[in-house]
């Protein structure tokens, strides 16, 4: 049987010193899913921008350093 | 009959039976010279010999500095005066001059030892210019939340050391009060070695590596620090942060937490939200 991954959060109560680790509740799971989706989107955007930049430089026939020189 | 040199142990008995021999074992007590004393030579009865005692040359015990008692005859007692000056748990002994001392009673709870250059005394701990560790431990789970932060300090200083985690490489993030609204995080960051300042206001968290850091899941030589000014304020809170990622990448950022709520909790996690920490430590300081 495949092992089920349970996402847990650690909460350290600074006032009492109590430390508990418990499974994420529904709100926390939902936020983790949003964070993960945003991260994947940002990562894809970053990769796409890098690809677009490389393609443009190739189209212009110049290097990145030459492009910086032009814009500088 | 007993001879002239025999020692008689029970004269009447000796003579009760004519010709009875007498116990001559004490004949060994004969002899010796002036000043000698009798000494046992073994555990056997009547095993004695005369010996000359070794004489000591101590004629008196005199109490010196820090010692009391002494004497010239009989059992002599000397006492460590420093020890008897201590009357209560926590007492200290401090010098008051050459060869003199006095008891210094323990201070009260929270007091610290100070000096005016010549004399020690207990005084109240300073209420400013101090950092107090208010929470520390090891990272575990997918996130660490420091909750119920007392509002009794001026600033907060959080240090995360060597956070490692299982699973896919990711980047670290801080979140304040569990707030996941991008409009509340007005941050700008930069990576040292680049001339670009990135506007991170679109992020719903503080990103100490400016989204440019190398995603990782190991823990070697990574440190993140977060400073929050006037965290108990009900207006905007100024924040500065830094990330030292290995030996090659260093980041810094500044901004405001754009919320009127006082800060009562801080969360450290990863931007992808799911890796589980398997190493690393944290320590939160309250700063005055």
CB of A16 less than 8 A from some CB of B: yes
Residue A15: CB partners within 8 Å, gap ≥ 6? B148, B149, B150
- Chain A residue with CA closest to B181: the answer is A31
Do A16 and B145 count as a contact with CB atoms less than 8 A apart? no
Q: Does B100 score more than 50 pLDDT?
A: yes
CA distances from B189 to B35, B210, B211 (A): 99, 6, 9
HSE, side-chain direction, 13 A CA sphere, residue B3: 4
Q: Does B8 score more than 60 pLDDT?
A: no
CB of A44 less than 8 A from some CB of B: no
Q: Does B4 score more than 60 pLDDT?
A: no
Q: Give B7's DSSP letter.
A: P
CB of A36 less than 8 A from some CB of B: yes
Closest Cβ–Cβ partner in A12, A17, A40 for B144:
A12
| pLDDT band (50, 70, 90) for residue B196 | low
DSSP H helices in chain B? 11-16, 81-85
Q: Does B23 score more than 70 pLDDT?
A: no
Closest Cβ–Cβ partner in A7, A14, A38 for B150:
A14
**Tens of pLDDT along B45-90?**
878 888 888 777 788 888 888 888 888 888 889 999 889 999 999 9
Mean pLDDT of B232-237: 90
Cα B240 to Cα B157: distance, rounded to the nearest angstrom: 10
Pick from A11-20, B40-49, B141-150, B231-240: least confident: B40-49
Q: Compute the nearest-CA separation of B147 from chain A (Å).
A: 5
Q: Number of CB pairs < 8 Å for A and B?
A: 77
Whole-number pLDDT of residue A59: 93
> Using CB atoms within 10 A of its CB, is residue A44 exposed (0-12), middle (13-18) or buried (19+)?
exposed
Residues in chain B with CB shorter than 8 Å from the CB of A46 are 211
HSE, side-chain direction, 13 A CA sphere, residue B56: 6
Residues in chain A with CB shorter than 8 Å from the CB of B144 are 9-12
Whole-number pLDDT of residue B28: 67
CB of A64 less than 8 A from some CB of B: no
Complex ipTM value: 0.76
pTM: 0.62
Q: What is the dihedral of CA B216, B219, B220, B226, to 10 degrees?
A: 90
Mean pLDDT, chain B, rounded, equals: 84
Mean pLDDT, chain A, rounded, equals: 85
Whole-number pLDDT of residue A4: 44
């Amino acid at each position: 049987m495949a092992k089920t991954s349970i996402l847990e959060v650690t909460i350290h109560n600074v006032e009492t010193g109590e430390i508990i680790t418990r499974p994420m509740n529904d709100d926390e799971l939902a936020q983790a899913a949003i964070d993960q989706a945003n991260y994947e989107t940002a990562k894809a955007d970053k990769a796409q921008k890098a690809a677009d930049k490389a393609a443009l430089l190739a189209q212009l026939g110049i290097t990145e350093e030459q492009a910086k020189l032009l814009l500088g | 009959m007993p001879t002239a040199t025999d020692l008689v142990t029970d004269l009447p008995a000796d003579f009760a039976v004519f010709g009875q021999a007498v116990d001559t074992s004490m004949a060994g007590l004969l002899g010796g010279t002036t000043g000698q004393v009798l000494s046992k030579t073994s555990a056997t009865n009547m095993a004695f010999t005369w010996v000359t005692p070794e004489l000591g040359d101590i004629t008196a015990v005199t109490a010196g500095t820090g010692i009391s008692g002494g004497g010239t005859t009989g059992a002599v007692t000397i006492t460590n005066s420093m020890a008897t000056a201590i009357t209560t748990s926590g007492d200290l002994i401090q010098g008051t001059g050459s060869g003199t001392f006095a008891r210094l009673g323990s201070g009260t709870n929270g007091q610290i030892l100070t000096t005016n250059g010549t004399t020690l005394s207990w005084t109240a701990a300073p209420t400013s210019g101090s950092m107090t560790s208010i929470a520390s431990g090891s990272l575990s789970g997918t996130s660490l939340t420091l909750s119920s932060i007392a509002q009794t300090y001026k600033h907060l200083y959080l240090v995360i050391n060597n956070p490692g985690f299982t699973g896919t490489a990711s980047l670290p993030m801080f979140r304040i009060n569990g707030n996941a609204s991008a409009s509340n995080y007005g941050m700008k960051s930069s990576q040292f070695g680049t001339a670009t300042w990135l506007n991170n206001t679109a992020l719903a968290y503080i990103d100490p590596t400016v989204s440019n850091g190398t995603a990782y899941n190991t823990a070697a030589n990574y440190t993140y620090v977060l400073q929050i000014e006037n965290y108990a304020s009900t207006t905007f809170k100024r924040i500065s942060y830094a990330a030292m990622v290995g030996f090659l990448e260093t980041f810094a950022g500044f901004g405001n937490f754009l919320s009127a709520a006082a800060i009562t909790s801080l969360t450290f996690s990863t931007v992808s939200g799911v890796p589980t920490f398997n190493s690393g430590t944290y320590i939160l300081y309250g700063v005055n």
